[in-house]
């Protein structure tokens, strides 16, 4: 036994190990609507604790206020049609009014796509293709009197425009409505 430890034991003092914050799984209810159309990085997201939990030795009851912020917001793309939003939980308010800084985030993605039987028909690409086909055929009729040439130009123009618009069409924006819940693993942040 080392001399320093022997002195501590003899004097009745004990060595206290520093506390390490333990991760806590928590459920939060979003208090504002979050959508891929208008949500931007840095937007505040007010939250309410959904289920009670213990954080840093303090009991946090359901209904307690919490603050979140949007860390990343991605609109649905033109080729990749799904967007996502990442929300970080920054603080939780204890019943005594103490604001506990926390760290934790969750990525919210839209629900899986509808089954193929329920998908909407691709109306915009079809209409764009039809318009381009008729326009191309009208232009071709100015140059040629051949029905085959005019019809061929119309078909090629229509298919090309329909495919191009179908590929470049942005995916649907989605809405995560007020009152929805998110599950986040959070850790209390130690203040120096």
> 99 phi and psi, to 5 degrees?
-90, 120
pTM exceeds cut of 0.85: no
How high is the pLDDT of residue 122? 59
Each residue's pLDDT tens digit, 103-162? 998 888 766 554 443 445 556 556 665 666 666 666 767 777 777 777 777 677 666 666
Each residue's pLDDT tens digit, 11-69? 554 544 445 567 889 999 999 998 888 889 999 999 999 999 888 778 889 999 999 99
Residue-range domains of the chain with CATH = 18-111+175-188 (2.40.128.260), 116-168 (no CATH)
43, with CB counted inside 10 A (0-12, 13-18, 19+), is middle
- Residue 86: both structure tokens together: 């990442």
Crossing angle of helices 147-168 and 123-143, in 10° steps, is 150
133, with CB counted inside 10 A (0-12, 13-18, 19+), is buried
């Amino acid at each position: 036994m080392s001399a320093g430890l022997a002195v501590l034991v003899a004097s009745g003092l004990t060595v206290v190990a520093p506390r390490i914050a333990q991760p806590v799984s928590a459920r939060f209810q979003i208090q504002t609507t979050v959508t891929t159309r208008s949500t931007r990085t840095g937007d505040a997201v007010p939250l309410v604790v959904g289920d009670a939990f213990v954080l840093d030795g303090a009991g946090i009851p359901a209904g307690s206020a919490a603050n979140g912020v949007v860390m990343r917001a991605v609109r649905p793309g033109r080729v990749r049609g799904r967007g996502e939003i990442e929300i970080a939980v920054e603080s939780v308010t204890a019943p005594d009014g103490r604001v506990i800084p926390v760290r934790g985030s969750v990525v919210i993605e839209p629900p899986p796509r509808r089954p193929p039987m329920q998908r909407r028909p691709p109306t915009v690409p079809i209409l764009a293709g039809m318009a381009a086909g008729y326009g191309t055929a009208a232009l071709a009729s100015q140059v040629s009197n051949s029905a085959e040439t005019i019809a061929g130009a119309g078909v090629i123009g229509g298919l090309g425009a329909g495919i191009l618009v179908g590929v470049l069409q942005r995916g649907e924006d989605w809405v995560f409505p007020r009152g929805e819940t998110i599950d986040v693993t959070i850790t209390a942040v130690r203040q120096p």
